[in-house]
Structure 1
Amino acid sequence: MEGNVIDQVQRYLLDSKAENRQKGVRLMITKTDALFRDFPSEDACSKLLIERSRIEEIFLNTPSAVQRHGGVVALRAIVKGLPSQQYPPEFVRLFCIPIFNSFMDGDPVVRVAATEATYELLRKLNTQVLQVVFKELFVALSCAINDKDCRASLLAREISNMLRERLSGNDDFSLDLGVFVQFICETLEPHSSASLPPELRLSTSGFKESLVVQWVLEWISHVLDMPGHHLIDYLPDFLPILFALPMKTTEDMLWKLLQTCRSEFRKALRVGRSSSDSVCIILRILISIVYTIEYPLSKRLCFEWMCDLVDQGNQASASGSQIPLYDAMLLCALRHVGSLDSQLEEAVRRVNSELMSVVIRSGAKASGNSLSNILVTITDLMGTGKGCAETHLAALEWIILLHHQDVKLVESCFDDISKAILTLLGDKLTKVYTKAIEALCLVTNEKHLKSLLDGIFLMVRQMPSVLLPRLSDILKQMQVCFESCDQAGDQCDTLLVAICNTLPEISDKRFVCKCVITLNNVLLTSSEFSKLRQVLKQGVASSEQVRNIFVQLGRGWSFNGVALLALCLLTRSYRLSLAICQYLGEIELSPSTLFQVDRLAQMLEGPVFSFLRVAMLTPLQCMPLIQTLFGLLLLLPQTSPQYKILYNRLKVVPSLAQLGREESGPVPPGKGQNNEEDKLWVEVHEPLFHDFKRCQEHVTAFEQSADL
């Protein structure tokens, strides 16, 4: 091609008449064909590259759209004149790149000409273009697909369809899947949720589907179906960007494509093309996606996919001896339990259930490290105090499950576990804190009981407005749990005795008094402590067991005079009850104490103290009891409704006493009985009475210092 020919062609290509432009094209085609007839292929290619540089300089690198259009047409004419043969890769690249760059031209006429030239390139060079400039070609097509000029977008679609047909019917050519995946990620990234403004990341309502995205998804689906192209092996590379795209409904192409990927990965696992390492990689990606995206539909699919992989991962990993990434997956699931989206919630619960099933099936095969990781995950989650009620309930279920699976593991982490669970006692929902108590009682053995009680009372002191009214319910449920674990049935006093050993160590004596009031109420009124009440009602004189329980409970009850008085009446310790009543009469009673006295008088009318009312039939045999009741009557304000009730009870006592004297005669009390009572007073009651007075002094001193 001589210089004067180029000049002539330039005049034709830039002419305003279509017939002259066509004449220039035919001239370029003829000259190109002549080159390959007159010269060896290598020399012809060299000459064409020189002409290509001149065309780029004269036509393409100018601000004139007419000249740029002429340059693209000239390149297309040269390509059209090329004979069908193999060309050097660099030759192909140098002719393709200027054409592909023109897809981004600002003039629609130039862009249309570029798509026409690309069509000619693929027709002439076939798969050579894909082998050399595959990524550049697809980048150019992605620009044209979304072109506002419908001619350019339609031609790009046509080229894309032609490529699919040629690839599907060509067994000798295979795509460079690595380059294809790179193109996918780079093209879709601007359309991902990360590129959206923060206010649009939580919803897909304002999202408008992109033609480019749909086109890329179509290509991914096509390549997944192509024989011999195992695109699924590259799933970890492009799965994150797919999930980052906004997804509106299950009818979206993206949803269907992701389901296809899920199915193909399952097949790859079945045929052994993917390993347990692949499962772990995909699980990591899914977990990361759940944390980074906000679309419920995408999260739901992630959890459904996780559910598929849970059991497969367990089977693929060393005969079930490991549970890979299940702690991270569990944390992810627990944080999404209670989602407002019902279908997402269902998917999350399936993952949680499947994980539990795997742990149960693994049994002894599950390694201690794996279960330990899960336990640490759950403990940390509860310890943060974050999450909804459903999250906390699911975490507590896991604590219970792990305790059944490995008691020693849970016991070794008792301090961390109990500390985490204790934070849930203040939850506003009854089902949460009752489940927390159940879990605490299950994981607590005898050596950890004191530590647990210390933690409970610390929580009550930190949240008195919430937990102090709830303390009675906590104690009742704990008693039920401990009694259910007591096979012999002889440890009904364990809980209250342990509490009474804990209370003296608490510095806030005012708080201790409040706790003792609660303890006394649950002991006297709740059905959960009925077994212990029956034991205590036998009386301290009946057995060594009752005596020991009474003494240990008395250490705690001594911080509240009315409570200790009630305990003495319950255990038939009438001589001590009289001493306490006399002590209360010598001090100035607070309104709170008077209220407690009124409450005790009211409880005397209940079924718990029916044996006391019957004992009043023989007042001569229980004078300390009668004196105690008269003392209570004198402590009560006469305006109290209980005053009249108790007064009516006691006003018949003189008559009953007189009747007793007339029937029995002047017989003095048995000497042996007095000796037994004196011994009981010296060994049990008197030391406890001194302890009671000492505790009252501590309480008084604390209240005085607190009021300063």
Structure 2
Amino acid sequence: MVDALSCIPAPVLRNLADKLYEKRKNAAIEVEGIVKQMSSTGEHEKITAVIKLLTDEYTFSPQSNHRKGGLIGLAAVTVGLTSEASQHLEQIVPPVLQSFSDHDSRVRYYACEALYNIAKVVRGEFIVFFNQIFDALCKLSADSAANVQSAAHLLDRLVKQDIVTESDQFSIEEFIPLLRDRMNVLNPYVRQFLVGWITVLDSVPDIDMLGFLPDFLDGLFNMLSDSSHEIRQQADSALSEFLQEIKNSPSVDYGRMAEILVQRAEAIDEFTRQTAITWINEFVKLGGDQLVPYYADILGAILPCISDKEDKIRVVARETNDELRSFKVASGEGFDVGAILVVAKGHLSSEWEATRIEALHWISALLDKHRVEVLSFLSDIVDTLLKALSDSSDEVVLLVLEVHACIAKDTEHFRNLLVYLLDAFQNDHSLLEKRGALIIRRLCVLLGAQTVYRELSSILQKEPDLDFAFIMVQALNLILLTSSELSELRELLKQSLVNCAGRDLFHALYASWCHSPMAIISLCLLTQTYQHASTVIQSMVEEDISIKFLVQLDKLIRLLETPTFSYLRLQLLEPGRYTWLLKALYGLLMLLPQQSAAFKILRTRLKTVPTYSFVGEQKYWSTPPETSHSKISNHVDIELHYTQDGVMMQDGENMSNGINFDSRLKQFKQMQQEHRVNAKSQAQLRKSSVNMTKEVQRPEENEQSSSTTDTNQPPQSVKKPPAQL
């Protein structure tokens, strides 16, 4: 076995461990010469012995000067070996790499210097240690000593630019896991180190960094929010270069990257969000079919950005949203309608109006293109759509109604929609108060006023909650009388006595309008069935004249002064012909308190009625209903009119148009009786509840009262017989 001590003079070995750098340097030069001589004669066993000596006695020594000497000595050996150094690298490089973790910063510095000199000699042969070297350089880039960082940067530049880029043995497949594992490190020096490697490797034509972009894309996006402007700029530059390459590349894995971008679009950092949404915008334009399975995720990222506080982000997000929605794809091609509906549904509760509006546009678009699939998920979204009807934005409410109307185009869904809507009104009275008129009017426009009112009337006719039915009918009646959207419906009802369609509509509404006396009276005035209106008014009993009734009557009197009832006011010019109208109006006047404003309004109106045809009026009104018109014609100036069939008409009321007013009156009285019974029942329940509450709240008083009661006295609940007069 060769003795290394015999190969190198003792003074050289002594100077190699000297504390002075110049002595160590001179000793290293002598070692270089000795090794060069050995190499020329092929004495590789001696060279191996020298390397072992330098490693064991110097680089692994507990004394820092020895370790410094050992490192400079190993570098000298490599320089002396020149082209033959590669066969000894397995001995030389590992001790140097181990010295990168030395606790002495000067040792770490000399380790960088030694490896730099070794790398310059062996060049491409050095690549076999690349993973270990990369790991060491990554750590040294964040070293606490500035001189070590500086030395590491020099070594890093040499390895990147002169070794890796020129080597045909470099394996990008082995490098990517190293890079990926370090991309989420927060140290700014490490981040700069990593971005530098990514940029350099991407510039090498033979290295396909784009193919591995999904492995480190998230890390690059993470650097966009770094506190260092330089790091943000470097990361942005690298991302811009990659995006340009994606535009020019025929094959890119859009799917994996889309998942990353979706997450980054939700970042707190504005610049990160903007970059992510810009990438998504390009992906939507370029990705085509590859992105179809990711549509729901992408939409989930876009919708919040539409309401972003930054204008640039909003603009790009809207453009991306429009591009995405215009893409034509069949459901069987991986397009998940259910997933997109879930996303759209979730954003209906967004705090931002613009996002809610776009979510509704998506539901509407899906209904248009994939109606069958959307309806199969109807039960999952209908409650959310109904809640959206109480949205603070009118635009949102109108869009929700369009979606509802689109769903209700199918007969089976139409009734369900109105049932759901009435349930919503019943559970949330504020919704009815604030949005009821808007909702009903819009549905009438979208689905047809007659269709909507017929179906609502049919549902309310069987409504078990009589109080809600009363409120709802009152609301529908007010909308009917005041909304411009229902003008055609009002005109049809005015023809109830001469038109079959008007008559049928009158019948359809009458059944549910019976819940409210005022609604029935309004309907009769609208349909010009004045005699029936008068009969209904006279049929009312004391319990019917409630505060609610008087409030509604006040509204009706004011409505009589609006353009809706202009025809009725003009008919007052012919009091002899429209005596039942007068009788109905006077009946309403008699029900109003004299001190009310409505009383004064109606009385003023009736005072304007011409009096020239009222001769014998008092006798006419006292005449029994069965008295023939010919008998009373001598007392009142009444015109008798006949249809083409010879059927007598009076007060504009066709008694033979299929309307059985006796039956209608019976129907009205029966419904009002149910309301009276319900009101009494509720009053008794409230009274019982109050009494029970009093008993629960004052048990001690009850006990005390009972304890002090004289047992000889009769119970308080037993009344004494009245005293004899």
If the TM-score is normalised by the length of the shorter chain, which range does it land in?
A: 0.7 to 0.9
Q: Which residue of 2 aligns with 1:419?
A: 383
Q: Which residue of 1 aligns with 2:19?
A: 16
Q: Using the TM superposition, give the Cα deviation of residue 598 of structure 1 relative to its aligned residue in structure 2, in angstroms.
A: 1.0
Q: Using the TM superposition, give the Cα deviation of residue 689 of structure 1 relative to its aligned residue in structure 2, in angstroms.
A: 2.5
Q: Which residue of 2 aligns with 1:214?
A: 192
Matched, 1:692 2:668: yes
Secondary structure, counterpart of 1:226 in structure 2: coil
Q: Using the TM superposition, give the Cα deviation of residue 667 of structure 1 relative to its aligned residue in structure 2, in angstroms.
A: 8.3
Which of residues 157, 160, 183 is equivalent to 1:188? 183
Which of residues 509, 512, 515 is equivalent to 2:469? 512
CA distance in 2, matches of 1:268, 1:52: 52
Q: Which residue of 2 aligns with 1:340?
A: 309
Q: Is the Cα–Cα contact under 8 Å of residues 617 and 656 in structure 1 kept in the other structure? A: no
Residue 663 and residue 166 in structure 1: after superposition, are their counterparts in 2 closer, same or farther (change >3 A)? same
Q: Using the TM superposition, give the Cα deviation of residue 386 of structure 1 relative to its aligned residue in structure 2, in angstroms.
A: 4.3
Residue 149 and residue 586 in structure 1: after superposition, are their counterparts in 2 closer, same or farther (change >3 A)? closer
CA distance in 2, matches of 1:402, 1:267: 33
Residue 647 and residue 78 in structure 1: after superposition, are their counterparts in 2 closer, same or farther (change >3 A)? same
Q: Which residue of 1 aligns with 2:585?
A: 629
Q: Which residue of 2 aligns with 1:305?
A: 279
Matched, 1:136 2:132: yes
Q: Is the Cα–Cα contact under 8 Å of residues 145 and 156 in structure 1 kept in the other structure? A: yes
Q: Using the TM superposition, give the Cα deviation of residue 44 of structure 1 relative to its aligned residue in structure 2, in angstroms.
A: 5.1
TM-score, normalised relative to structure 2: 0.83
Q: Using the TM superposition, give the Cα deviation of residue 428 of structure 1 relative to its aligned residue in structure 2, in angstroms.
A: 1.3
Q: Which residue of 2 aligns with 1:194?
A: none
Residue 180 and residue 24 in structure 1: after superposition, are their counterparts in 2 closer, same or farther (change >3 A)? same
Which of residues 523, 536, 539 is equivalent to 1:580? 536
CA distance in 2, matches of 1:666, 1:297: 85
Alignment of 1:207-606 (within 5 A): 210-247=188-225, 252-269=233-250, 274=251, 278-291=253-266, 293-314=267-288, 323-359=292-328, 362=329, 367=332, 370=335, 372-373=337-338, 375-378=340-343, 380-382=345-347, 385-386=349-350, 388-445=352-409, 446-483=411-448, 492-538=449-495, 540-587=496-543, 589-606=545-562
Q: AA paired with 2:486?
A: F
CA distance in 2, matches of 1:390, 1:593: 43
TM-score, normalised relative to structure 1: 0.85
Q: AA paired with 1:541?
A: L
Q: AA paired with 2:220?
A: L
Q: Is the Cα–Cα contact under 8 Å of residues 93 and 133 in structure 1 kept in the other structure? A: no
Q: Using the TM superposition, give the Cα deviation of residue 228 of structure 1 relative to its aligned residue in structure 2, in angstroms.
A: 1.0
Residue 536 and residue 482 in structure 1: after superposition, are their counterparts in 2 closer, same or farther (change >3 A)? same
Q: Which residue of 2 aligns with 1:83?
A: 82
Residue 411 and residue 542 in structure 1: after superposition, are their counterparts in 2 closer, same or farther (change >3 A)? farther
Cα deviation code 1:628-666 (max 9, x no counterpart): 111100111111122122113334465432299689979
Q: AA paired with 2:175?
A: F
Cα deviation code 1:343-389 (max 9, x no counterpart): 22222222211101213xx5xx5647626246533454257x34532
Cα deviation code 1:486-533 (max 9, x no counterpart): xxxxxx411111111122344332222222121111110110111111
Q: Is the Cα–Cα contact under 8 Å of residues 481 and 564 in structure 2 kept in the other structure? A: yes
Q: Is the Cα–Cα contact under 8 Å of residues 558 and 696 in structure 1 kept in the other structure? A: yes
Q: Which residue of 1 aligns with 2:33?
A: 30
Q: AA paired with 1:522?
A: I
Q: AA paired with 1:188?
A: M
Q: Is the Cα–Cα contact under 8 Å of residues 311 and 358 in structure 1 kept in the other structure? A: no
Residue 629 and residue 152 in structure 1: after superposition, are their counterparts in 2 closer, same or farther (change >3 A)? same
Secondary structure, counterpart of 2:183 in structure 1: helix
Cα deviation code 1:555-611 (max 9, x no counterpart): 221111111110111011222212221233533522222111111111112221122
Q: Is the Cα–Cα contact under 8 Å of residues 530 and 584 in structure 2 kept in the other structure? A: yes
Q: AA paired with 1:232?
A: L
Q: Using the TM superposition, give the Cα deviation of residue 668 of structure 1 relative to its aligned residue in structure 2, in angstroms.
A: 7.9
Q: Using the TM superposition, give the Cα deviation of residue 475 of structure 1 relative to its aligned residue in structure 2, in angstroms.
A: 0.9
Matched, 1:176 2:154: no
CA distance in 1, matches of 2:277, 2:206: 30
Residue 3 and residue 369 in structure 1: after superposition, are their counterparts in 2 closer, same or farther (change >3 A)? closer
CA distance in 2, matches of 1:155, 1:637: 102
Q: Using the TM superposition, give the Cα deviation of residue 255 of structure 1 relative to its aligned residue in structure 2, in angstroms.
A: 0.9
Q: AA paired with 1:221?
A: T
Q: Is the Cα–Cα contact under 8 Å of residues 4 and 53 in structure 2 kept in the other structure? A: no
Q: Using the TM superposition, give the Cα deviation of residue 426 of structure 1 relative to its aligned residue in structure 2, in angstroms.
A: 1.5
Point out where structure 2 has 5 or more consecutive residues left out of the alignment. 618-632, 687-725
Q: Is the Cα–Cα contact under 8 Å of residues 565 and 580 in structure 1 kept in the other structure? A: yes
Q: AA paired with 1:294?
A: I
Q: Is the Cα–Cα contact under 8 Å of residues 614 and 637 in structure 2 kept in the other structure? A: no
Q: Which residue of 1 aligns with 2:648?
A: 673
Q: AA paired with 2:198?
A: I
Q: Is the Cα–Cα contact under 8 Å of residues 585 and 635 in structure 1 kept in the other structure? A: no
Cα deviation code 1:385-439 (max 9, x no counterpart): 3453222211111122223324444444444443332221121122211211122
Residue 369 and residue 630 in structure 1: after superposition, are their counterparts in 2 closer, same or farther (change >3 A)? farther
CA distance in 2, matches of 1:451, 1:389: 27
Structure (1 or 2) with the greater helix fraction: 1
Q: Which residue of 2 aligns with 1:204?
A: none
Q: AA paired with 1:471?
A: G
CA distance in 1, matches of 2:468, 2:634: 51
Q: Is the Cα–Cα contact under 8 Å of residues 503 and 659 in structure 2 kept in the other structure? A: no
Q: AA paired with 1:439?
A: V
CA distance in 1, matches of 2:209, 2:518: 80
Larger radius of gyration: 2
Point out where structure 1 has 5 or more consecutive residues left out of the alignment. 192-208, 484-491
Percent same amino acid at aligned positions?
23
Q: Using the TM superposition, give the Cα deviation of residue 332 of structure 1 relative to its aligned residue in structure 2, in angstroms.
A: 2.4
Deviates more, 1:157-166 or 1:366-375: 366-375
Q: Which residue of 2 aligns with 1:486?
A: none
Residue 20 and residue 222 in structure 1: after superposition, are their counterparts in 2 closer, same or farther (change >3 A)? closer
Q: Is the Cα–Cα contact under 8 Å of residues 168 and 226 in structure 1 kept in the other structure? A: no
Q: Using the TM superposition, give the Cα deviation of residue 94 of structure 1 relative to its aligned residue in structure 2, in angstroms.
A: 4.1
Tell me the C-alpha RMSD between the 2 structures.
3.1
Deviates more, 1:228-237 or 1:691-700: 691-700
Q: Is the Cα–Cα contact under 8 Å of residues 297 and 344 in structure 1 kept in the other structure? A: no
Q: Which residue of 1 aligns with 2:152?
A: 156
CA distance in 1, matches of 2:428, 2:637: 61
Cα deviation code 1:414-473 (max 9, x no counterpart): 444433322211211222112111221123213311111111122223332244321001
Q: Is the Cα–Cα contact under 8 Å of residues 92 and 132 in structure 1 kept in the other structure? A: no
Matched, 1:50 2:73: no
Cα deviation code 1:213-258 (max 9, x no counterpart): 1232122111111121111111111112212224367971111111
Residue 655 and residue 649 in structure 1: after superposition, are their counterparts in 2 closer, same or farther (change >3 A)? farther
- Equivalent pairs counted in the alignment come to 657
